[in-house]
Amino acid sequence: MREYGSVQFNQRQYPRLDFALGLAFEAAGQKIPDGITGNVSLGGMLAYLPRSVKQGHVLQVTMLLPCNDGKQVFKAQAEVVWVREGEFEDGWACQAGLRLLEMPADSWHIWRRFLMEWQGEEKE
């Protein structure tokens, strides 16, 4: 799985993993065009989107994660913490920082296990 990216350790609360993963979004029952992650952490992610979102919006995020035991579906609510608009690499129109909020317990375990496996840590 190491071909997906690298680990960044810095002054943030959680280390960031450079990962390009497909994202599906919904907000208030409306589907938002799919995006991709630039990096992920236990607490959130950097997302590239084809159109802008608003700071403060809460999105329903769905991802298919490559885990050691096969692909796992991860779902969570995420708050848009910051937004940058412009022309980004690969034609993305928006860069957004998402903070993970609520998620089902099984999604929390999938997310944590995915990050730990990728970092090479022991399983829970």
CATH superfamily for 2-119 is predicted glycosyltransferase like domains (2.40.10.220)
pLDDT tier, 89 (very low <50, low <70, confident <90, very high otherwise): confident
Q: Is 22 left (phi over 0), alpha (psi -120 to 50) or beta?
A: beta
Residue 1, pLDDT above cutoff 90:
no
Residue 4, pLDDT above cutoff 50:
no
pLDDT tier, 7 (very low <50, low <70, confident <90, very high otherwise): very low
Instruction: Give the pTM.
Output: 0.82
Task: Give the model confidence (pLDDT) of 50-73 as tens digits.
Answer: 988 999 999 999 999 988 888 899
User: Which pLDDT value is given to residue 124?
Assistant: 45
What values do phi and psi take at 9, rounded to 5? -100, 130
The CB density around residue 77, as the number of other CB atoms within 10 Å, is 14
Where are the domains positioned within the chain?
Answer: 2-119
DSSP 122: P
| Residue 30 neighbours by CB under 8 Å, 6+ apart | none
Task: Give the model confidence (pLDDT) of 94-122 as tens digits.
Answer: 999 999 999 999 999 999 999 988 877 54
Task: Give the model confidence (pLDDT) of 13-62 as tens digits.
Answer: 667 788 899 999 988 788 888 999 999 999 999 999 998 899 999 999 99
**What Å distances lie between residue 14 and 29, 32, 49, CA to CA?**
30, 27, 23
